[in-house]
């Protein structure tokens, strides 16, 4: 069966969630088209013993155990480099999924070839092991986003925990930075957004268990949030100045009747500053 989506799972002290995690994936409407790659970051628990029976039953589950403890982003990078499917998505062992999540997200990428990443909305739960079906669409218990914009992404992490993207983007923008402990994904979205279109789908793709013990709930996440925003706000201002400079050059060329040269500058700008020139046409 042709694999369409590579699912990357990093595990460490996750034995209590592993069976539920795999059961969530098996419930996906296009499960047979999934390539599931589990990266065990030298967990002291016995996740492998839980996964092994699933591997005997399903050929699309692979398990890689490392000999030393590493963070989630190095683990994701290891998993991504082993993928063979055109689409990639991460999945946390303690989250839950809409059974139609991967079918819906991959269809959105199929139907929007100009988009490199898609994401939906998310239910929130303060209790572990909460089924997706128990998600409640009420204020404070959901992450519901407006239409995507890079400015919005600069202010908040609107991508959410269950995005899906094209594997090939790593050939141009690289992998997840391993300098971050908690918010390396947010740095990657901002880096990717400078060069690629992202698309929000008004659809609840999953449920996220929010806990102060999770990486996103720890103090280091606040420090990393400020550091990442400072870096990309500065980059945004520099790109904006370059946009103004290029717009003046384009205007002068058009005034001189050199439309072909102006169009070439626009194309180069879209490659370097996509998010500034996305909707710009002569």
Buried/exposed 17-43: b ≥16 CB within 10 Å, e otherwise: bbeebbebbbebebbebbbbbbbbbeb
Q: What angle do CA 26, 32, 35 make, to 5 degrees?
A: 85
What is the 3-state composition of the chain as percent helix, strand, coil, each rounded to the nearest 5? Answer: 45, 20, 35
Ranges of each domain in the chain: 5-217, 231-277
DSSP state of 179: T
pLDDT of residue 249: 83
- Consecutive H or E run containing 19: helix 15-26
pLDDT tens for the chain, 282 residues: list them. 899 999 999 999 999 999 999 999 999 999 999 999 999 999 999 999 999 999 999 999 999 999 999 999 999 999 999 999 999 999 999 999 999 999 999 999 999 999 999 999 999 999 999 999 999 998 889 999 989 999 999 998 899 999 999 999 999 999 999 999 999 999 999 999 999 999 999 999 999 998 876 666 567 888 999 999 999 999 999 888 888 888 888 888 888 888 888 888 878 877 777 777 776 676
Q: Please return the burial class of 214, using the count of CB atoms within 10 Å of its CB with bins 0-12, 13-18 and 19+.
A: middle
Looking from the CA of 135 toward its CB, the CA atoms found within 13 Å total: 22
Length of the chain equals 282
- Which residue carries 């929007």 as its tokens? 112
Give the DSSP H or E segment for 37. Answer: strand 34-40
| CATH, domain 5-217, list 3.20.10.10, 3.90.550.10, 3.30.2130.10, 3.40.190.10 | 3.90.550.10
């Amino acid at each position: 069966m042709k694999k369409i989506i590579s699912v990357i799972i990093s595990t460490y002290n996750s034995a209590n969630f592993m069976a539920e995690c795999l059961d969530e994936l098996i419930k996906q409407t296009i499960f047979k088209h999934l390539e599931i790659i589990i990266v065990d970051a030298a967990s002291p628990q016995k996740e492998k013993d839980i996964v092994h029976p699933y591997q005997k039953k399903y050929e699309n589950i692979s398990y890689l155990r490392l000999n030393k403890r590493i963070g989630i982003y190095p683990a994701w990078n290891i998993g991504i480099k082993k993928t063979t499917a055109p689409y990639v998505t991460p999945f946390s062992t303690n989250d839950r999924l809409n059974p139609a999540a991967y079918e819906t997200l991959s269809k959105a990428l199929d139907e929007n070839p100009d988009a490199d990443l898609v994401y939906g909305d998310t239910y929130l739960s303060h209790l572990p092991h909460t089924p997706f079906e128990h998600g409640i669409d009420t204020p404070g218990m959901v992450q519901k986003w407006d239409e995507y914009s890079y400015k919005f992404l600069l202010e908040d992490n609107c991508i959410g925990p269950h995005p899906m993207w094209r594997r090939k983007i790593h050939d141009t923008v690289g992998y997840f930075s391993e300098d971050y402990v908690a918010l390396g994904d947010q740095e990657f979205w901002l880096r990717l957004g400078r060069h690629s279109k992202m698309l929000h789908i008004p659809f609840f793709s999953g449920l996220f268990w929010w806990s102060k013990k999770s990486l996103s709930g720890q103090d280091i996440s606040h420090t990393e949030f400020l550091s990442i925003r400072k870096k990309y706000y500065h980059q945004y201002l520099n790109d904006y100045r370059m946009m103004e400079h290029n717009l003046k050059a384009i205007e002068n060329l058009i005034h001189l009747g050199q439309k072909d040269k102006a169009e070439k500058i626009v194309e180069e700008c879209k490659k370097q500053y996509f998010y500034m020139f996305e909707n710009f046409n002569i």
